[in-house]
Homo-oligomer: A and B are copies of this chain.
Amino acid sequence: MIARIDFHSGMPVYLQIVQQVKAAAASGLIRPGDPLPSVRALAEDLRINRNTVARAYSELESESVIETRQGSGCFLKDGGASPLRKAVRSGRLAEALDAVIVQAHHLQISDAELQSLLVERLEAFRQRQKDHQSLQD
């Protein structure tokens, strides 16, 4: 599960993929030399057009984040950035969390509710991961 698309964010789908691949690379989730999902597999996974995935990959390649080898797929390049320090990674997440907090405030959802909602969604996320894994076994 390398990417998750929010179709209502207004951000172009291909850019969402680009950013999430970069994030995964920056954190060490995927490492130099690791293969990325094939264009058609990812497109099917995310239920988007193959062109969109292809565009994201081509963007990543032009930025030298990944490397595509004809006939065998796309791989994370080693040249790139070393994994970010933990403080930096937390900082990035904090920005995203702040946006959620503002939204919660606007929807009149209390701090306590927000926290329990987070727990709930974390459990759902872990469950989806398990399901996904067993599907591929």
Contact = CB atoms under 8 A, between A and B. Distances in A.
Interface of A: 1, 3-4, 6, 8-12, 15, 19-20, 22-29, 49, 62, 65, 71, 79, 82-85, 88-90, 92-109, 111, 113-115, 117-122, 124-126
B104 A118 contact: no
A104 to B, nearest CB: 6
With most chain B CB atoms within 10 A of its CB, the pick from A71, A94, A122 is: A122
Copies of this chain, count: 4
A101 B82 contact: no
Given A15-B10, A90-B113, A93-B114, A82 B107 contact: yes
A62 B55 CA distance: 13
B122 A107 contact: no
A107 B121 contact: no
21 contacts: A1-B102, A6-B95, A10-B15, A20-B106, A23-B103, A26-B102, A26-B106, A29-B108, A79-B108, A82-B107, A84-B107, A90-B109, A93-B107, A93-B109, A94-B120, A96-B100, A98-B124, A98-B125, A101-B118, A101-B121, A115-B122
